[in-house]
Amino acid sequence: MARSSRKLILPCAVLIPAIAIAGCSSSSSSQGASAGTANTGQSAAGGTQGKTISFVPGVIGNAFYFSMECSIREEAKQFGFEINLQGASKFDASLQIPVLNAVVAQNPAGLIIAPDDSKALFGPISNAAKAGAKVALVDTTLADTSSAITSIATDNVQGGAAAADSLATLIGSKGKVMVLAFQPGAATSDDRQKGFEQEIQKYPNIDYVGPQITNNDPAKAASEVSATLAAHPDLAGIYATNDRSAEGAATGLRNADKAGTVKMVAFDAGPEQIQQLQQGLVQTLIAQQPRQIGANAVDAIAAALTGKPVQKAVTTKTITVTKDNLGQPDVQAALYKLSC
């Protein structure tokens, strides 16, 4: 899906096809808050005009990050920023680090990055900040955010809790449920699982059989669903913490002739997830707001470069999407796109 104007840097000579995944900060700020001050037009232009912001998403080729990129590019026009996108083809810290190191060598004025690991990326991101880049963390975050001017992300704990409540409703608040977590160590995956596990305890008749790790691999997700169904043929519900896990779970349910019988709630709302919703493979989606996150990140960097205050942490709320509310304007605005 990459456009000709986009740059893809891979840490090895062999090009690997892009895969899709998606994707929290410990913030107490409310939805809709800006990470920077409001755009003041030409008043900020002297400190931003012609400067470059590098955007390093968690992975290239994903609808969530593409939607974020669209808003980053749009917001950047107001400040005269140039946007340079570079990323790896998999959600993998060992692949993202060489990409980031190459970005830092280009001395961008700002860096918007979704770190693929909350600890492994601390050193490389700190180096970017030491080199002079104003760093805005988006979607995922670091265990130590001291090197960043702001951290802007979905409230993934809240989203996980919303998923638990939705799944409980779907299964009549009784039965066995499982979690498909996509990447241990990634803040988004950990928090989405945490929120679900805390909330599901409120339902005494629901038996939580535990999480399985998919490593963001649909084939592994399908395998884990098959194995869990073999051990628990009366499984009532599945919570998939991202799009790739949901894709694999749908395959596993189809293979077991359980699609629609075993209810599923999944994070993210890209084109494929909407299709799954319409087909009845998944009953509820927990959508994030990548456009808001991207725009806030640009605003934060512009504020930092022009000496204005920057909010250290910002969270955005999730939107619960079902077949019944899919046509509502606020829901439509939250759906991820593969074109701007």
Rounded to the nearest angstrom, the gap between the alpha carbon of residue 313 and the centroid of all alpha carbons in its chain is: 16
Average pLDDT across the chain, whole number? 88
Q: Regarding predicted confidence, which is higher, 125 or 30?
A: 125
Q: Regarding predicted confidence, which is higher, 160 or 28?
A: 160
Q: Please write down the HEC assignment for all residues of 11-73.
A: CCCCCCCCCCCCCCCCCCCCCCCCCCCCCCCHHHHHHHCCCEEEEECCCCCCHHHHHHHHHHH
Task: Say whether pLDDT at 332 is over 70.
Answer: yes
Split at pLDDT 50, 70, 90, the class of 1 is very low
Residue 265, classed as helix, strand or coil, is: strand
Digit-coded pLDDT (tens) for 39-60: 443 344 459 999 999 999 999 9
Amino acid identity of residue 315, one-letter, is T
Task: Say whether pLDDT at 20 is over 80.
Answer: no
Digit-coded pLDDT (tens) for 185-204: 888 899 999 999 999 999 99
Provide the whole-model pTM: 0.80
Closest of 63, 70, 60 to residue 91, by C-alpha: 60
CATH number for the domain whose boundaries are 156-287? 3.40.50.2300
Residue 113: per-residue pLDDT: 98
Percentage of the chain beyond pLDDT 70 is 86
Digit-coded pLDDT (tens) for 253-290: 999 999 999 999 999 999 999 999 999 999 999 999 99
Q: Name the residue ranges covered by the structural domains of the chain.
A: 156-287
Distance (Å, whole) CA 115 – CA 5: 23
- Whole-angstrom CA distances from 26 to 1, 50, 187, 298, 314 are 32, 33, 10, 20, 8
Mean pLDDT of 287-299: 96
